[in-house]
């Protein structure tokens, strides 16, 4: 099974020429999946749980990943099981050093060239999104950010969260495309009629949990249809940019 697909310009035009809204997940999507940003956040979550429950690192890590798998996010699990303050949690886990993330002018140019509106739809916080895209040098390109607070702390892949996002910004799903690194988070968008693009890691490695790794399990393991799969978001958007600039035959 190929790790990346290379559709023709004609195929890209056929699938994307009616798209008016471009929706991007943040973590491991707008920045490369092999970046050290998410491991930094992941480690802070482990520390938070260890401090909250007074347990060692291994125990905290096991609790963290259990809540993530069962509740969609670790935060959701902590809110349900321990009634934590979600705002304090978000402030703590997103207080990281982003200086290792280089600016990505190629990504910025490709996003800027897409016709229509662009949004970030994340299970993280607005602050985390704003600071991350500023580091990437792509701030100012988006029409809005919808975060876990805006979703009333109901994370993707909850259907009501997508519906709330769409209603907030007046988005028609059949004229939208979504880019996301977690397969289960593309199930509802596909059902709603969005174009879906799964962003996967390249050869540099994968920080995901074993059970959610697309490259190892393939699409059949998730039962979800993706229109495209790419290991290089800037390259995919660049190809899409030029395809849409050419009139369809």
In a domain? residue 1: no
84: domain CATH number? 1.10.150
Cis amide linkage into residue 157, ω under 30° from 0: yes
Domain count, the chain: 2
- Rounded average pLDDT over 189-215: 74
Question: Which position has the higher pLDDT, 126 or 211?
Answer: 126
Closest CA to 199 of 159, 236, 156, 149: 236
> For residue 4, is it within any domain?
no
**20, 86: one domain:** no
Residue 193 CA, distance from chain mean position: 18
With 0-12 / 13-18 / 19 or more C-beta atoms within 10 angstroms meaning exposed / middle / buried, residue 31 is buried
My answer on whether 233 and 120 are in the same domain is: yes
**Pair (141, 166) in one structural domain:** yes
Residues 109 and 229 in one domain: yes
Tens-digit pLDDT profile for residues 48-96: 999 999 999 999 999 999 998 888 889 999 999 999 999 999 999 999 9
* pLDDT one-digit tens code per residue, 36-55: 999 999 999 999 999 999 99
């Amino acid at each position: 099974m190929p790790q990346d697909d290379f559709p023709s310009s004609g195929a890209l035009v056929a699938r994307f020429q009616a798209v008016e809204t471009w929706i991007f997940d943040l973590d491991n999507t707008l920045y490369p999946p092999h970046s050290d940003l998410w491991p930094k956040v992941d480690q802070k979550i482990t520390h938070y749980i260890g401090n909250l429950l007074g347990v060692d690192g291994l125990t905290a890590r096991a609790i963290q990943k259990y809540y993530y798998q069962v509740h969609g996010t670790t935060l959701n699990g902590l809110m349900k099981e321990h009634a934590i303050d979600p705002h304090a949690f978000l402030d703590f886990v997103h207080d990281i050093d982003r200086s290792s993330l280089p600016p990505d002018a190629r990504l910025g140019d490709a996003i800027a060239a897409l016709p229509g509106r662009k949004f970030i739809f994340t299970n993280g916080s607005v602050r985390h999104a704003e600071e991350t895209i500023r580091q990437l040098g792509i701030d100012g390109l988006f029409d809005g950010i919808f975060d876990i607070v805006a979703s009333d702390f109901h994370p993707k892949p909850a259907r009501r969260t997508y519906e709330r996002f769409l209603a907030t910004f007046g988005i028609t799903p059949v004229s939208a495309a979504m880019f996301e690194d977690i397969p289960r988070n593309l199930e509802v968008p596909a059902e709603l009629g969005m174009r879906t693009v799964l962003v996967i890691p390249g050869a540099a490695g994968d920080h995901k949990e074993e059970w959610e790794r697309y490259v190892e399990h393939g699409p059949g393991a998730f039962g979800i249809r993706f229109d495209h799969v790419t290991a290089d978001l800037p390259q995919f958007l660049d190809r899409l940019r030029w395809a849409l600039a050419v009139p369809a035959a």
